[in-house]
Amino acid sequence: MATDIVVPHLGDSVLEATIIKWVKHEGEFVKIGETILELETEKANFEVAAETSGVLKSIGRGENEDVEVGDVLGSIDTSSKPAETAEIKQPKTKRNAETKTEAKNLSDEVKATPVARNIANQSNVDLTEVKPTGLENKITKDDVESHIQSGHNQDKISDTATESISSELFPSLSQLHSNREKRVKMSRRRRTIARRLKEAQNSAAILTTFNEIDMSSVMEIRKRRKEEFKDKYGVSLGFSSFFVKACIGALKLFPELNSEIQDEEIVYKNYYDIGIAIGAEEGLVVPVIRDADRKSFAEIEQEVKDFALKATDGTLTLDELMGGTFSITNGGVYGSLMSTPIINPPQVGILGLHKIEQRPVVVDSEIVIKPMMFVALSYDHRIVDGKEAVQYLVKIKELIEDPEVLLIEG
């Protein structure tokens, strides 16, 4: 008896996915609950587990194929036992080059991000030969691409990539262009990011206002309390918790920035779910700190740390990426001095943080050097007026420059 493997429910509003890789191969015995394949959705990676034990009888959809919820991906023969399994077969993929089963199994055991593994599969790269540079000795997308560019994979390129001597001496125009360009299909997440950013610009009236903040007080607190804080809570005291707390304090004064438009109504949120933008291999992701107003500095710092690790590993869940009432993004970690962040619909505001630089400023009629940060607030002018936007950013400035107020005012 055969049981179909189907694309399961992937979360609210998520209808499509892309097959990253098959973990199990045709003819291999699988136990109920074991991961059979990995999918990439617009929000997170998703593991499909076997709903019954048996032999993977067939694989109907290959790696890199787009599929929809309910699509049949293959089947499991539930009448077979482990001893009856046939020789393991390679899964069907879109690439022509194939490696031996033993080599593939070794590659599967190597620690690598889903994106890195996907690129390796497409380019026929043996992950055991790639030098890892990621967290916990994990291979990243950049590691695989560097390996390919260095020429280590040259001997494994398919025969069609190596032309005869005459074609090497007299290459065609198409060959010349192929050597100067590289075409890579956009991942589902990158396509979604591109679509949502364009939708945000088309549907909202986005404006940005700027200010600058003297970071001296926060930096002094961090320097004075960092060792004690880490010993007590097991996590470093960063800037994230200060800005999350400051955003919430300002949102309570300017609730328009913690709202959204639904048809012809404005929905004001009486809770504070703060999205934290994190750069991942496949683009920006925005996991959400739920009820951030009820959490301590340490709890906020721990969640941000966990989100960063999960973003690197590609293990953020759909629940962690859903919703959010306001967002914070920090281009300063990449060296950005100033930028105009794009809001994350249906939210109507996002705070952009930037690089801290020592700059001359005037204090009490004297020029002094201070660690300054430019901050930017992008907002939807359909709900938020310029006056409220400016005052909101001024409040952020006041709270960060006098962080004790964060404790006094909660």
Distance CA 408, CA 198 (A): 41
Beta-carbon count within 10 A of 404 CB? 10
Radius of gyration of the chain measured on its C-alpha atoms = 26
Is 402 an annotated catalytic residue? no
* Active-site hit among 108, 319, 381, 402: 381
- Paired sense of beta strands 326-330 and 349-353, if any: parallel
Phi, psi of 84 (to 5 degrees): -95, 5
Distance CA 224, CA 315 (A): 35
200, 192 contact by CB (below 8 A): no
Q: How far is CA 12 from the centre of its chain?
A: 18
Is 381 an annotated catalytic residue? yes
Distance CA 51, CA 31 (A): 8
Q: What is the DSSP string of 9-39?
A: --STT--EEEEEEESS-TT-EE-TT-EEEEE
Six-digit token pair at 60? 């109907």
Nearest to 37 by CA among 54, 56, 19: 19
Phi, psi of 30 (to 5 degrees): -125, 145
* Active-site hit among 142, 291, 319, 385: 385
Q: List, in order, residues 6 or more apart from 5 with CB less than 8 Å away.
A: 36, 37, 48, 50, 72, 73, 74, 75, 76
Q: Which residues are catalytic?
A: 381, 385
